[in-house]
């Protein structure tokens, strides 16, 4: 069987977003990089390296028959859980900003939670295809997946990494819905999940402070509301056309992590509403094409995998933009393809490679 070329829209948009990301990582990070490391190109050089590795991985998986991923389902689940346990072990997991999310040596680190996002998608897609009509049954169909989800989410919460937990949980429910699970089961689980999420949010003082500061950040402008106020200053000062590339003022130690979680704020400040709007449009087209590929995949495993990948990238994009625009409380979430980060960028490009491979089998116009 001769495969079609990969989806042009997805490939073009990803390469364009990566190019924008490289430019904006340097623009947003050069001040902090010089101050912290004495090298304005510190973050740029690492981003270029991870981008190169990610593109190689994307090309590999773009040409790797996605059907073969099913045979690694058990290895993926076991490896995913083991890594999530290892990151919690003192001396192995690295603590940064009071969170133990990284494994590695020196600056060469990765986040097992990023790998868990992809691992859960492959595990769910393979398992749900195998279940078939049994998915209608709660005990035989849904419960086994919920047990694995609970273990994974509990380990990620221990790091803690609330946003990753929410994304994995939401993606799981969407994949269960696509696979044909009972709507009553999904709505019931959604209500329980929402209640648990709310309980977790108010269980820690810093999380509760983020929620209370969200409604009126200026009321607590020096602590809980500080980050979002600086983000709004950046977006507001950009106007329609922006201040110009490299001319951000908020990156001068006002914005927290301007090269990662708040890079969209710098984009809005330097490139204005026009630049930020173009990026939003590119992501919307990506999401549209991703779900078209999912709808036209030749088998259920392909449909679920493509839908899961599209959903997890879409949620990361939506949450990141929602946070910097004060639409939801502040939480740590990178902007796919654009934010600085090794493991997140590489795993996202692996996901895109799998999506592009599915597109080569799908009947998409």
Closest among 309, 260, 310, 319 to 284, alpha carbons compared: 310
Angle among Cα 50, 51, 57 to the nearest 5 degrees reads: 90
Express as a percent the part of the chain with pLDDT over 70.
Answer: 94
Band (285; pLDDT cuts 50, 70, 90) = very high
Give the pLDDT of residue 42.
95
H-helix or E-strand spanning residue 45: helix 42-62
Length of the chain: 365
pLDDT computed for residue 208 by the predictor: 66
Q: What is the mean pLDDT of residues 79-108?
A: 82
Q: Is the pLDDT of residue 44 over 90?
A: yes
- pLDDT score, position 200: 72
Per-residue pLDDT at 203: 67
Instruction: Say what the pLDDT of residue 329 is.
Output: 82
- So what's the pLDDT on residue 170? 93
Confidence of residue 3 (pLDDT cuts 50, 70, 90): confident
- Separation between Cα atoms, residue 108 and residue 110, nearest integer Å: 7
Q: What are the pLDDT digits (tens) for 296-335?
A: 999 999 999 999 999 999 999 999 999 999 888 888 789 9
Question: How large is the average pLDDT for residues 245-273?
Answer: 94
Beta-bridge partners for 108: 105
- What mean pLDDT value characterizes the chain? 90
How large is the average pLDDT for residues 201-221?
Answer: 70
Q: What is the pLDDT confidence band of residue 97, given thresholds at 50, 70 and 90?
A: confident
Question: Among 139, 134, 144, 148, which residue's Cα sits nearest to residue 76?
Answer: 148
- 274's CB contacts (< 8 A; 6+ apart) are 240, 241, 242
> What CA–CA distances, in Å, run from 289 to 11, 115, 175, 284, 348?
11, 23, 17, 9, 16
Q: Residue 191 — very low, low, confident or very high, per pLDDT cuts 50/70/90?
A: confident
Burial grade of 74 (CB within 10 A; 0-12, 13-18, 19 or more) = exposed
For the residues of 177-225, what is the DSSP string, one character each? HHHT--HHHHHHHHHHHHHHHHHHHHHSHHHHHHHHHHH-GGGGTTTTT
- pLDDT at residue 107 greater than cutoff 80: no
Give the pLDDT mean for 79-98.
86
Residue bearing the bigger pLDDT, 256 or 7: 7
Least confident of 114-123, 200-209, 301-310: 200-209
Ordered by start, the domain boundaries in the chain are: 69-344
* Residue 206 pLDDT exceeds 70: no
* Percent with pLDDT over 90 in the chain: 67
């Amino acid at each position: 069987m001769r495969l079609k070329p990969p989806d042009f829209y997805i490939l073009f948009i990803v390469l364009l977003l990566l190019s924008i990301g490289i430019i904006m990582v340097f623009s947003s990070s050069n001040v902090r990089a010089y101050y912290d490391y004495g090298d304005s190109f510190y973050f740029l050089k690492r981003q270029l390296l991870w981008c190169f590795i990610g593109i190689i991985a994307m090309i590999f998986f773009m040409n790797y028959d996605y059907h073969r991923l099913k045979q690694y389902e058990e290895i993926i689940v076991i490896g995913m859980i083991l890594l999530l346990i290892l990151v919690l072990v003192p001396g192995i997991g690295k603590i940064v900003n009071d969170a133990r999310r990284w494994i590695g040596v020196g600056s060469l680190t990765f986040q097992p939670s990023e790998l868990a996002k992809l691992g859960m998608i492959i595990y769910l897609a393979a398992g749900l295809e195998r279940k078939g009509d049994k998915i209608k049954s709660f005990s035989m169909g849904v419960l086994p997946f919920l047990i694995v989800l609970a273990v994974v989410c509990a380990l990620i919460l221990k790091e803690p990494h609330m946003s990753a937990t929410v994304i994995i949980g939401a993606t799981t429910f969407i994949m269960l819905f696509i696979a044909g699970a009972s709507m009553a089961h999904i709505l019931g689980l959604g209500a329980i999940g929402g209640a648990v999420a709310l309980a977790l949010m108010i269980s820690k003082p810093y999380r509760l402070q983020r929620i209370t500061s969200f409604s009126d950040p200026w009321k607590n402008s020096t602590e809980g509301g500080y980050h979002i106020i600086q983000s709004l200053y950046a977006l507001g000062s950009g106007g329609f056309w922006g201040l110009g590339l490299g001319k951000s003022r908020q990156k001068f130690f006002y914005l927290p992590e301007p090269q990662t979680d708040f890079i969209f704020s710098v984009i809005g400040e330097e490139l204005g509403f026009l630049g930020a709007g173009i990026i939003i449009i590119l992501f919307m087209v990506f999401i549209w094409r991703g779900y078209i590929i999912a709808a036209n995949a030749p088998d259920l495993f392909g449909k679920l995998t493509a839908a899961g990948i599209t959903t997890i990238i879409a949620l990361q994009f939506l949450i990141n933009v929602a946070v910097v625009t004060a639409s939801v409380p502040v939480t740590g979430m990178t902007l796919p393809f654009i934010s600085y980060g090794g493991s997140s960028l590489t795993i996202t490009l692996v996901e895109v490679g799998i999506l592009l491979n599915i597109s080569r089998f799908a009947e998409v116009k």
